[in-house]
Amino acid sequence: MFTRNELIAPVLGIACALALAISLPAAATATPAAEAVQEIAAGLEGAVTKAAGEVAATAEQAVPDAGVAAPAPVPVAAATAEEAKSSSTAEAAKQIHKTKHWSWEYTNPDTGQKLGKKNVINNFCTSVTSNHSFCSACHIGYGWADDSFDFSSEANVDCIVCHDTTGTYKKLPGLSGHPNYETMEWPPHSGRFRPPTDLKKIAQNVGPTSRKTCGTCHFYGGGGDAVKHGDLDSSLTNPGRYLDVHMDSEGLNFSCSRCHVTDEHEVSGSRYGVTAADEKGVLVPGSLDPRNPTTCVACHGNTPHPDKAAKLNDHTRKLACQTCHIPAYARSTLQTKMSWDWSTAGKLDEQGHRIQLKNSAGKVVYDSKKGNFTYDRYVVPEYQWFNGEVKFTLFGDQVSEDSVVKINEFQGDANDPDARIWPVRVFRGKQMYDKGLQTLAVLHTAGKDDAAFWGNYDWDKAMEVGMRAAGSEYSGELGFVSTEMSWPVTHMVSPKEDALDCESCHTDGGRLAGIEGIYLPARDRMPLIDTIGFGIALLALIGVLIHGGIRVILAKREG
Amino acid sequence: MERIYIFKRFERFWHWTQALLIITMMITGFEIHGTYSNLGFETAVEVHTIAAWALITLWVFAIFWHFTTGEWKQYIPTMDKVEAMFRYYLTGIFTHAEHPFRQTTLHKHNPLQRLAYLFVKLLINPLIWASGFLYLFYTSWESWGLGWLNLEWIATIHVIAAFMMLIFFIAHIYLATTGHKPMSHIKAMITGWEEID
> Measured between alpha carbons, how far is B142 from B146 in angstroms, rounded to an integer?
5
CA distance linking residue B134 with residue A521, whole number of Å: 14
Q: Which amino acid is at A3?
A: T
Cβ-contact A446, A128 below 8 angstroms = no
State the DSSP code for A119: T
Percent of chain B with pLDDT over 90: 69
Cα separation of A233 and A231, whole Å? Answer: 7
Q: What is the ipTM of this complex?
A: 0.93
| C-alpha B28 chain-centroid distance | 17
List of chain A residues whose C-beta atoms are within 8 Å of the C-beta of residue B128: none
What DSSP assignment string belongs to chain B? -EEEE-S-HHHHHHHHHHHHHHHHHHHHHHHHTTS--SS-HHHHHHHHHHHHHHHHHHHHHHHHHHHHHTGGGGG----TTHHHHHHHHHTGGGTTPPPS----SS--S-HHHHHHHHHIIIIIHHHHHHHHHHHHTGGGTGGGT-TT--HHHHHHHHHHHHHHHHHHHHHHHHHTT-SSSTTHHHHHHHHSEEEE-
Please give the residue of chain A at the shortest CA–CA distance from B49: A311
> pTM (2 decimals)?
0.86
What confidence score (pLDDT) does residue A115 get? 96
pLDDT at position B160 over 50: yes
Asked if the B18-181 domain carries CATH number 1.20.1300, the reply is no
Going by their DSSP bridges, the two strands A478-488 and A405-406 should be labelled as parallel
Q: How much is the pLDDT for B197? A: 66
* pLDDT, average across residues B25-39: 96
* Residue B47 half-sphere exposure toward CB, CA atoms < 13 A: 20
3-state secondary structure labels for all residues of B136-156 = HCHHHCHHHCCCCCCHHHHHH
pLDDT of residue A179: 96
Interface of A with B (CB under 8 A): 311, 314, 317, 501-503, 506-508, 518-519, 521-526, 529-530, 532-534, 536-537, 540-541, 544, 547-548, 550-551, 554
Q: Specify the pLDDT at position A76.
A: 36
Whether residue A546 lies inside any domain: the answer is: yes
**Predicted local distance difference test score (pLDDT) of residue A40:** 47
Would you say the C-alpha torsion A286, A287, A292, A293 has a positive or negative sign? negative
Identify whether the C-beta of residue A250 lies closer than 8 Å to the C-beta of residue A242: no
**Does residue A550 lie within any of the structural domains?**
yes
pLDDT of amino acid A460: 97
pLDDT in tens, B67-92: 999 999 888 888 888 898 889 998 88
Q: Report yes or no on A549 lying in a domain.
A: yes
Q: How many domains does chain A have?
A: 1
Q: Which residues of chain A have pLDDT under 70?
A: 1-90
Cα distance from A522 to chain B (closest Cα, Å)? 4
Q: What domain range is A548 assigned to?
A: 527-559
Question: What is the β-pairing status of strands A336-341 and A420-434?
Answer: parallel
Q: How far apart are the CA of B176 and the nearest CA of chain A, in angstroms?
A: 11
Q: Looking at the partner chain, which of A507, A529, A554 has a beta carbon nearest the beta carbon of B159?
A: A529
Three-state helix/strand/coil letters over A214-234:
HHHHHCCCCCCCCCCCCCCCH
A533–B163 C-beta distance less than 8 A: yes
Q: Which residues of A touch B171 (CB under 8 A)?
A: 540, 544
Give residue-wise pLDDT tens across range B135-158.
999 999 999 999 999 999 999 999
Residue of A108, A104, A98, A105 lying closest to A388 (CA atoms): A108
